[in-house]
Amino acid sequence: MDNFKVRDLMVPLSEYASVPESASLYEAIVALEKAQAEFDHTKYRHRAVLVLDAHRRVIGKLSQLDVLRALESTVSRPARILDDIHQYGFSPASIRQWRLEKRVLQGPLTRVCGLVGRLKAKDFMQSPTEGEFVGLEESIDAAIHRLVAGSHMSLIVTGNDGRIAGILRLTDVFAAIFHAMKVCQLEEGETTP
């Protein structure tokens, strides 16, 4: 475990779901479904889609929560004021009431889902921050520090040439650590009189 590098645990970019920046939310979800189907079913399923620019650089990550956030956003009203209304000092009860009114105006959830699917994935993705990248040859220790410090679900792995090589997922790091813990416990058990 101590000698593990990021490259040993990452998912290669080719196995991860990705869409161009022009993609709709629906196209992003289809890409995710396809990647999940092609991925080894014994492993933890992918939970996010990468959004790539014309040079195939990662410009953002779209998580399942981001898709749900799109549902919460104002589909029929471009002002989207209810998205950030919490920062203006209104009571939670009023905000709940207004969100409910808005949902009623928009119609049933199935209709809203149809509308949301047409929105741009780019508008709801999270842009990667500086601490969200990790080098291919870096240690797992360094990666753990970045996952914890930034509360990230995954890190973007860059190769020696600066290009994106893959994704290091929290779940894979956790599985490796858990495995190491079990080994430790076993070894301790064998040495205890």
Partner 1 sequence: MIELQKLLERVIQRVNINLRELGYDVSPYVRDLVPLTQKVKFYAFYGITPHHPLDLQFHGASLAGSYFLGRCRVSSSLLYKSDIRGDELKKKGSVFRFQEQEIVLTRDERFDIEDSYLIKTLVHNYSHDPETPEHFFIKDTVSTHYANIHGSPTEGCFLGPFATVDLTTVHDCVIGPFSYIQAGEIWHLNIPPGTIWVRSPGHFNFLYRFPPEALKAYIAFSPGEVPRGALMDFVNQRKHEFQRIFEVVNIEPSVRVPANASLDRYAVVRPKTRISENVLVSQRAFLQNAHLGKGANAQENCYIINSRLEGLNVTAHGAKIIEADLGTGVFVGFNSFLQGRPQARLTIGPHCIIMPHTIIDAAAPLTIPAGHLVWGLIRGADELAANSISLEALAAVSDGLHQGELFFEGSGADFVKGFQQRIHHILEANGAFYDGNGQKGHAQRNQNISFNILQPYPEGPYQGLSPTTIIRE
Judged by the rule CB under 8 A, the positions of this chain that interact with partner 1 are 77-79, 81, 84-85, 87-91, 94, 97-98, 101
CB closer to partner 1 out of 87 and 160: 87
CB closer to partner 1 out of 22 and 97: 97
Tokens standing for residue 50: 């990468």
| Alpha carbons 60 and 57: distance in angstroms, whole number | 9
Distances (CA, A) of 155 to 39, 72, 111, 142, 148: 19, 26, 35, 11, 11
Taking the complex as a whole, the smallest distance from the CB of residue 128 to partner 1 amounts, in Å, to: 12
CB closer to partner 1 out of 37 and 79: 79
3-state secondary structure 65-105: HHHHHHHHCCCCCCCCHHHCHHHHCCCHHHHHHHHHHHHHH
Taking the complex as a whole, the smallest distance from the CB of residue 105 to partner 1 amounts, in Å, to: 10
Taking the complex as a whole, the smallest distance from the CB of residue 119 to partner 1 amounts, in Å, to: 15
CB closer to partner 1 out of 82 and 113: 82
